[in-house]
Chain A
Amino acid sequence: MKRDIPLIITFLTGFLCVIAFFIPHPPFGDLQQRFLVWYAIVAGFTMILGLDSLVKYNVKKITQHKPGWQYSYVLLFGLALVLVTGFQSWFKYNTPFELRSSFMYSYIHIIVPLQATMFALLAFFISSSAYRAFRARTFEATLLLIAAAIVMLGRVPIGEMISDKIPLRSDWLLNVPQLAAKRGIQVGVYLGGVVMSLRIILGIERTYLT
C-alpha cells in the first residue's frame, strides 16, 4: 500500500498531463495548471530540506573535527550573513533587491566575483586539456584535431584575417557534420526519454520510489 499510493499518483498525474496535451476541453487544462502550480510551490519549499542538510553536514564536520572543519565555520557564517542581510533589506526597503541594500551589497561584492572567478578557471582547464587531448595518435584523432583548429579560428576575427575561407569552413563544420552527429545522439536521447517516461507512468520504472 505504501508503494501503491505514489504509483497511483504518478500514473494519474502523468496520464492527466498527456490527456491535457491532446484534449483542451475543461476540466483537463485547469487540473493540469493546478498541478503545475502545486509543483512550483513544492519546489520552493524543498530549499528548506537543502538548508537542513547543509547545516547538519557542516555541524558534523565541526564537531568531529574532520579535515577542513574550519571552513565549515566560514560557510555557516556566510549562510547567516546572507539571511540577516536579506531580512534586514526586506524590512528596510520592502525588497532585498534594492540596489542600495546590504543584501545586494553582499551579492555584488562577494557572490558575483566568486562565481566569475570559478568560471574563469575554465579557460585554463580547457587550454591544458586541449593540449593533452588533441594528439594526432590515429586518423580519427587527426580529423578531430583539424576540425577543432578550423572551428577555433573560424569563431574569432583573427580567423578571417588569416583567410576569409576559415569562417566559411568553420560554419560548414558546425552546420553539417557536427549537426549530423548531434542529431543522431539526440534522437536516441529523446526517444530514450519518451520510453523512460512511459515506464514511469505505467509503474514499470520504480527506482525513484526506493
Chain B
Amino acid sequence: MGIFDRLANLDRRLIFLVIGLAVAVPIILKIKMPIRISSEVRSAYETIENLPEGSVVLASMDYDATSAPELTPMFRSFLRQCFRNKLKVVYTGHLAIGMPLAQFDLDAVTEECGAVYGVDYINLGYRPGFTAVMIGIGREIRDFFAVDYKGVPVDSFPMMKDIHNYSDIALIVDFAHGQTAEYWIQYVVSRFGVKMFACVTGVMAPTLYTYLQSGQITGIIGGLQGAAEYEVLVGQPESAAFGMPAQSIAHLFILAFIVFGNIGFFITRRKK
C-alpha cells in the first residue's frame, strides 16, 4: 500500500488519537482566543436585559450529563444575569435524569448571588407527561406542580403567589440537548404567545434558526461557542470560553484529515 493509499484509508485509531490530543493539549496549556459575539446570542442576552425587574422567567432543564459541558455554562450565566437583574426564576424539566445535575449549578450560583429559595427562585422538579405538562401549565401550573421538588406545597412560597399560568410568565428559556426546544415553541410559544429563547447543544442549534427568522423565538445560544459568547456578555467567562481553543484546534485537525483523505483519494483514483 503506497503513501496515498494510506492517506485515503487512515486507521481510525490514529484519527481518535490525534483528536484526543487536539482537545486535551489546549485545555492543559490554557490557551486563550478572542470570542466574537453573534447576533443570535446578543439578542438572547438582550431579551433578559429588557425584562422589567420582578418578572418571572421559566427555565426548563432538558439536558443531562452528556451535554453538560455545553449547557452548564449557559445555565450558570443565565442564572447570574437573572439574579443580577432581579428576575424570579421558576425551574422545572422534562428529563428526570438531568434535573439533579442542574441543582448543583443552582446551589452554586444562588449562593454567589445571594438569591433566596422560594423568594427569588424555585425548583418545581420533574413530572412525567412531557408535552401534556407543557400544555397543562397554560391553564394552571398547580394542576401538575402542587409541590416543589422536595414535596413542599408551592403555595407556601411567596414568589408562587401570583404565578398560575403562562400569562404570569414573562419569558421561557429552554436548556435542551434534544427536541424539547421545538416542542416548547410548537406547543407553548405558538399557542400561548409567551416570549422564549433557547439554549441548545451545537448539533441542535441549526434546527432552531427557522424559528428565529420567523420571530417565534428571540435568540439562540448554541453549542460551546454560544455558551462562550454568553459568558463574555454576562461578564464572567468560565469553562465555555476556556474550552473554545480546544474546539477550534479539533476542528482544524478534522479539516486537515478531510484534506489528507481527499488528496489520497484523488491521487489513487488518477493512478487507477
Contacts and interface: CB of A to CB of B under 8 A. Distances in A.
Contact of A130 (B149, B244, B257): B257
Interface stretch (A2-10, A67-75, A120-128): A120-128
Q: Select the residue from A32, A37, A128, A186 with max chain B CB neighbours within 10 A.
A: A128
Interface in B183-214: 191, 202, 206-207, 209-210, 213
A44 B94 CA distance: 12
A124 B128 contact: no
B209 A145 contact: no
Nearest to A30: B139
A97 B150 contact: yes
A115 B103 contact: no
A145 B258 contact: yes
B223 interface: yes
Q: Is the interface of B mostly helix, strand, loop or mixed?
A: helix
Contacts of A145: 258, 262
B135 interface: yes
Contacts of B107: 99
Contacts of B207: 182
Given A97-B150, A116-B65, A157-B33, A40 B265 contact: no
Contact of B68 (A29, A116, A124): A116
Given A40-B127, A99-B107, A127 B254 contact: yes
Given A39-B132, A135-B265, A175-B209, A97 B252 contact: no
A12 interface: no
Q: Is the interface of A mostly helix, strand, loop or mixed?
A: helix
A36 B206 contact: no
Contact of A36 (B10, B101, B132, B150): B132
B133 A40 contact: yes
Contact of B130 (A21, A43, A131, A175): A43
B58 interface: no
A183 B213 CA distance: 11
Nearest to B99: A97
Interface stretch (B16-24, B78-86, B156-164, B168-176): B16-24
A163 interface: no
Contact of B139 (A21, A29, A39, A115): A29
Interface in B13-63: 15-16, 19-20, 23, 33-36, 38
A204 interface: no
Contacts of A178: 206, 209
A134 B15 CA distance: 15
A99 B104 CA distance: 8
Contact of B248 (A148, A158, A182): A158
A149 interface: yes
Contact of B143 (A37, A118, A152): A37
A205 interface: no
A207 interface: no
Nearest to A182: B210
Interface in A137-163: 137, 145, 148-149, 152-153, 155-161
Nearest to B212: A175
B255 A152 contact: yes
A97 B149 contact: yes
A111 interface: yes
Given A33-B143, A153-B251, A160-B34, A128 B149 contact: no
A182 B182 CA distance: 14
Given A126-B254, A157-B245, A167-B36, 8 more contacts: A40-B133, A44-B127, A95-B150, A112-B68, A134-B262, A153-B255, A157-B35, A179-B209
Interface of B: 10, 12, 15-16, 19-20, 23, 33-36, 38, 64-69, 97, 99-101, 103-104, 107, 127-130, 132-133, 135-136, 139-140, 143-144, 149-151, 191, 202, 206-207, 209-210, 213, 223, 225, 244-245, 247-255, 257-258, 261-262, 265-266
6 contacts: A36-B136, A37-B132, A97-B150, A115-B65, A158-B249, A167-B36
